[in-house]
Amino acid sequence: MRLSEDWRAGERRWRVVGAGSAGAGRPGASRTFDARSGARYARAMRAAADGLLSSLLTEIRACRLCEPSLPLGARPVLVADPRASILLAGQAPGTKVHASGVPWDDASGRRLREWLSVTPAEFYDASRFAIVPMGFCYPGRGASGDLPPRPECRETWHPRLFPLLPGLRVRLLIGHYAQSWHLGDQARSTLTETVAAWRDHGPDTFPLPHPSPRNQRWFIKNPWFSAELIPELRKAVRAAM
């Protein structure tokens, strides 16, 4: 169920699309409201969404689905608010974020905020940024870095979470795993190819490399990233804020 705006005979009106019994009595039906009634209904819908999201976040933070496979135990880290207009979809927390419980609370986060040209206060404003990684817990260490995010989050929680974030206008997809899930068939075979094709995804979706200091060689080899993508990224983020 969602609200859409109509302009009819110079009057602002609202329509409930896909309403069931609460709408016009059957699935897929619609109801039309005048501006005042529509505004009241919109407030009620937002309040209901707030309640659903709050309950879901409580479930997520209590999740222990893959804890036996996590070397430091489960500590889901994410930020979600129905007012958020910008999605930050990364890989999974590292050890420092696991310890603090604050997403992007490390050198990578500092570089990311520099890319976006935002202050820490703006970055951690939940009404602006939703921070929803592919895995909510630190997955452990592998031979060449952190292990991939566990699949349980994207299978169990993501399909329930994203419908409760209706205000998202800009998506920042950080790393191969986030790009593969969010872009699907539009993701290229390598991260570099996907990021290089950033213009193909429209003005509201930006595939990005991980801002880790360990990726310094990548940034040197791909100067177009700072020269071309970053300025457009900053404009899109500032407009969405």
Position 90 confidence tier, pLDDT thresholds 50, 70, 90:
very high
Per-residue pLDDT, 48 = 74
pLDDT surpassing 70 at residue 4: no
Per-residue pLDDT, 42 = 65
Handedness of CA 36, 41, 46, 51 (dihedral sign): positive
Local structure of residue 142 (DSSP, 8 states): E
Q: Where are the domains of the chain?
A: 2-61, 73-240
Q: What is the mean pLDDT of residues 80-102?
A: 95
pLDDT tens figures, 102-159: 999 999 999 999 999 999 999 999 999 999 999 999 999 988 788 999 999 999 999 9
Position 96 confidence tier, pLDDT thresholds 50, 70, 90:
very high
Handedness of CA 155, 175, 70, 78 (dihedral sign): negative
CA geometry: angle at 36 spanning 32 and 39, to 5°? 80
Please tell me the CATH code under which domain 73-240 is placed. 3.40.470.10
Position 21 confidence tier, pLDDT thresholds 50, 70, 90:
very low
pLDDT surpassing 80 at residue 26: no
Handedness of CA 149, 71, 66, 130 (dihedral sign): negative
Whether 206 contacts 173, CB under 8 Å = yes
Position 35 confidence tier, pLDDT thresholds 50, 70, 90:
low
Q: What is the mean pLDDT of residues 221-232?
A: 98
Distance between CA atoms of residues 153 and 164, nearest Å: 16
Q: What is the mean pLDDT of residues 90-103?
A: 94
Distance between CA atoms of residues 38 and 217, nearest Å: 53
The residue behind tokens 């979600």 is: 80
* Its pTM surpasses 0.75: yes
User: Could you tell me what percent of the chain has a pLDDT over 70?
Assistant: 83
Per-residue pLDDT, 58 = 97
**Residues near 183 by beta carbon (within 8 Å), at least 6 away in sequence:** 173, 194, 201, 205, 207
Per-residue pLDDT, 15 = 41
Distance between CA atoms of residues 112 and 108, nearest Å: 6
Per-residue pLDDT, 24 = 39
Position 7 confidence tier, pLDDT thresholds 50, 70, 90:
very low
CA geometry: angle at 154 spanning 149 and 159, to 5°? 165
Per-residue pLDDT, 107 = 93
Minimum mean pLDDT among 39-43, 131-135, 198-202: which range? 39-43
